[in-house]
Amino acid sequence: MSQAPLNPPEIIRESDWLDVLLPFNIGSGRSLYSGLEAAQRLRLRVFKRQRDGALIGRAWFGPGADGPPLHVHGGAVAYVLDEAMGAVSWMNDYPAMAANLRFEYVQMTPLLTDLTLEARITTVSDRRVSIESEIKLSTGEVCVRGFGEFARLSRKKAAFFETSEHDPKGLLKNPTLKWAEDRKP
């Protein structure tokens, strides 16, 4: 049996995947994972799929994310799906934070494997955004499904993000953001 390569594959954008700007450094600047090719724990790169606004991307878990022998720790997978679900909400102009997350581990996720990641909004209400996500093998087989309810933020609640340190590109000033209404006292 040949051993999987230790180095992650190059992450290549497909034709209908658009680069996205998020108000947070998802995919870079955090110690757990990186878009850099030298990262050995987790590589993740996300895009916005043009046709439906879904978050789509590639993930690769290295030896630093191990759980059961030759497989990814369930907490590492949950972390990636949580990030993806939050990101799809923000990149579709719904500022929100996780309120309830649930994961279905369909099969063990192998280490050192190029995986596909997808997250999509299923419903939006005045106060919530419901999101589904998956991590899949190249064959299309699902390893893990994530389900999230995200509480939409009001402009007032999000004010603590608006410092140059937390929002260096000024993305929270985007006029297309769909803020939740402030609750009445």
Residue 155's pLDDT band (cuts 50, 70, 90): confident
**pLDDT at position 2 over 50:** no
Cα–Cα–Cα angle for 64, 67, 68, rounded to 5 degrees: 135
Lowest mean pLDDT among 115-124, 143-152, 173-182: 173-182
- Identify the pLDDT of residue 25: 52
What CATH class does 17-173 carry?
alpha beta
Which of 1-5, 85-89, 101-105, 168-172 tops mean pLDDT? Answer: 101-105
pLDDT tens digits, 70-119? 999 999 999 999 999 999 998 898 999 999 999 999 999 999 998 999 99
Encoded amino acid at 142, one letter: V
- What is the pLDDT, as a whole number, of residue 27? 44
Q: Please, where are the H alpha helices in the chain?
A: 74-91, 155-158
Cα 87 to Cα 56: distance, rounded to the nearest angstrom: 11
**pLDDT higher than threshold 60 for residue 32:** no
> Cα separation of 84 and 99, whole Å?
14
